[in-house]
Structure 1
Amino acid sequence: MGDRAIFTAVLIGLQALAAFILIWGLKLQGRWAIGAVAGFVLFSLPLPYLMGLAGHARQPSLLTAALVVRPVFAWHFNWLAFLLFLAPVIILGRAAGWLSGWPWVLPGLRAVMLSGIGLWTLATIIGLAGTLRPPRITTQEVIIPGLPPEQSGIRLVQLSDPHVAWWNARAEMERIGEMIMQLQPDLFVLTGDMVDHHPDYVHVLADGLEGLKPRLGRYAIIGNHDVYTGAEAVSKRMEERGFHVLRNQCLGLEERGARLALLGMEDSGANWTGADPWEEMIPHYLADCPAGLPVILLAHRPSAFERVQGRPVALTLAGHTHGGQLRLPFGLPGLAHLGFQRPSGLYRVAGQTLYTSRGTGTVGWPFRLNCPPEITLFILRAEKNP
């Protein structure tokens, strides 16, 4: 029995356990019990297809991704979360009702749990729809100290975290490529997490960006998911497709016509919920930058910004957080705030600028709620003469 078959069997077994706890724990009967069993059976049937996509670096059509792949992925993710967080509450609730003899415990537990599951199902449907929408174009003007006035207006486009894998359709990457080309960038950067699960997905990413030929070049860095996929293989394929992968390197762009330097920091893959241990090396990498050129730092995680305070880095571009994929209304802290101080958007500190992209992909759960994907266009401006 292969690894994918074992994984599928384990996943189905866990779903069966979740179904049992739900039906037994809440004493579901009649159409409620039948509906629960039917749902688990229905969403387990496509699992071999999903495993085949993942195992052979294939992708579904956009329609199949929208109607089958992502809903099935979300279903199983949700019920694994149910086992971790809600199943213990149900079991303890049943035990409390039995020990106390209070007749209202079970009906109350059932009402609360079914209401919560219903609301979460609605949120999941809305979140799934959010993954299918085109990315938003965010435009930012950034002052770059030291940029010559005659070079003011350079158009830099950042793409981050596309996470091309078996849950994406090729058409989605092609759409992203078309949107970027319409922005007519002079410089294109990709700040990590390009692919998941198989390095051959690089070709889908590169095909979507094939028509993109900015005069200052196309650059990429390795993110933590590229490390998990295989940093060497991902980097090699990206280089073969015409991207310059900066692996703890600094490169001057003067020969291409811009008085700028790009410093690309590779992610270590460690401690993905917080700062990267390799960020301590940023001052060392900066020493390799051409003297006197304004530096743009490409770092997968926004925590790298803390390491460049007071150093000659004009702009730091990061991703990694996806903006949390779920953002609370009214500017309240979301999931991304748990690990990062600056989880999305533009930040300016003492003349230095950080932009943390929400990215275009998802990870862990195909879900975006109040957190749309984005492509960012930066207009780089020279300082005005006093």
Structure 2
Amino acid sequence: MTQAQERVARPRSRRLFVVVLLAALVLLFGVPWWLLVLGPQWPVAVFVVGTVLFAGAAVGFPWLMFLGHSRRAQDWAARIGDTTLGVVWVLFAWTLLGTVPRVVLGLAGVDNPLRSRLVAGLVVAVTLVLVLWGYVEAMRIPRVKRVDVVLPRLSPGMAGLRVVLLADTHFGPIDRARWSARTAAAVNALEPDVVCHAGDIADGTVERRQAQAAPLGDIRARLARVYVTGNHEYFGEAQAWLDHLTELGWESLHNRHVVVERGGARLVLAGIDDATARASGLPGHGANLTAALAGADPNLPVLLLAHQPRQVVVAEAAGIDLQVSGHTHGGQIWPFHYLVRVDQPTVHGLTRHGDRTQLYTTRGAGFWGPPLRVFAPSEITLLTLRTAG
């Protein structure tokens, strides 16, 4: 692209961003206001208070998100902005679902404005319950999900290998140092042979999130602790996080592999950078499976760490036995998983791709942005590798 083309493209991109932002604000804040505040024909006082609340939130939200997630991120703004995003998303989704009881009440002969007021009350009550429950789910220690994975090429000496998968810890504006320590203890209680962290350790620099990430250094594994970058590392200091995890005793699989051995059997643990790494412009970064497998015995089974499930396309072409990923959060706040599914081949669980390759996608241990998890519980995954026999 020439400099002249770039000068033309920049304003167009900015205009598109503004249009998308305004459309999102109108939908997220305008639809609930229309159906919950305007439609029910409340008394003037209720209408004014509701309108002021929605208008204030709509105006303040983009400002808070900018302050909280720009390069000079201010955690207080991120906490408020992220929480606002979570609450309004739940309210928006359940306002739309309120169409169902609205129709039912209409068929039952309940007239307006009583019908609209009943539905508005129901939507607000459901939203309040889900937000409170979602906060508890987000802040709790992740549940352990146990999954057996059969790998036909696995040698008997590796049968029963215990692989613990972590991803999406997202240490960020809310200080979760105690949560991190308790999560590390839960991992150690599983007595893993291998521990994998599939990326998105934190939102922010190593300096700002070091205390929250410190308990990762206490995690123990008999054979290896391995880590790859996620897309959020590339919003900040990807190389610094790779270096820091190395300092904590982890193997940073920056397009490379290690081989573990047990009972005379061997397994290749490979890792590639996140799918966004190359676009970040960071020198030396970009997913490269060929480099990751360079020198590996092609007869050995391979467990690949790749942050995004969609990277399985490359894994399948290379005949990888098992890819482990995160990124999706299982949708995090229902029904967002429908949008995630547009971008990713799977949202959660074990899936098969081609004749050999399997993919396990974890819902992740933490959360991004809104401190909520609604119908998408966090998890620590214990994968037990089995032979075909």
TM-score normalized by the length of structure 2: 0.69
SS of residue matched to 1:362: coil
Instruction: State yes or no: 1:158 paired with 2:162.
Output: no
Instruction: State yes or no: 1:365 paired with 2:376.
Output: no
SS of residue matched to 2:163: strand
Where does residue 225 of structure 2 map in the other structure? 218
Instruction: State yes or no: 1:32 paired with 2:46.
Output: yes
Distance 1:318 1:191 in 2: 6
Q: CA deviation at 1:157?
A: 0.6
Distance 1:173 1:126, change over 3 A: same
Where does residue 264 of structure 1 map in the other structure? 271
Where does residue 194 of structure 1 map in the other structure? 201
Distance 2:146 2:38 in 1: 53
Distance 1:184 1:129 in 2: 27
Q: CA deviation at 1:327?
A: 4.6
Distance 1:54 1:200 in 2: 16
Where does residue 74 of structure 1 map in the other structure? 83
- Is the contact between residue 235 and residue 245 of structure 1 (CA under 8 Å) also seen in structure 2? yes
- Is the contact between residue 216 and residue 248 of structure 2 (CA under 8 Å) also seen in structure 1? no
Gaps of 5+ in 1: 1-13, 61-67, 87-103
Distance 1:198 1:32, change over 3 A: farther
Q: CA deviation at 1:159?
A: 0.4
Q: Which residue of 227, 238, 249 maps to 2:245?
A: 238
Distance 1:311 1:268 in 2: 16
Q: Which residue of 347, 361, 369 maps to 2:351?
A: 347
Gaps of 5+ in 2: 1-24, 96-110, 280-284
Where does residue 10 of structure 1 map in the other structure? none
- Is the contact between residue 295 and residue 314 of structure 1 (CA under 8 Å) also seen in structure 2? yes
Where does residue 384 of structure 2 map in the other structure? 379
- Is the contact between residue 33 and residue 50 of structure 2 (CA under 8 Å) also seen in structure 1? no
Q: Which residue of 297, 318, 322 maps to 1:290?
A: 297
Distance 1:257 1:55 in 2: 49
1:80-95 equivalent positions in 2, closer than 5 A:
none
Q: Which residue of 306, 331, 342 maps to 2:313?
A: 306
Distance 1:260 1:137 in 2: 24
Percent identity between matched residues is 27
Q: How many corresponding residue pairs?
A: 334
- Is the contact between residue 194 and residue 205 of structure 1 (CA under 8 Å) also seen in structure 2? no
1:107-122 equivalent positions in 2, closer than 5 A:
116-122=123-129
Distance 1:174 1:54 in 2: 28
1:162-177 equivalent positions in 2, closer than 5 A:
162-177=169-184
Distance 2:239 2:89 in 1: 32
- Is the contact between residue 299 and residue 318 of structure 1 (CA under 8 Å) also seen in structure 2? yes
The residue type equivalent to 2:248 in the other structure is R
Distance 1:69 1:308, change over 3 A: closer
Distance 1:237 1:285, change over 3 A: closer
SS of residue matched to 2:127: helix
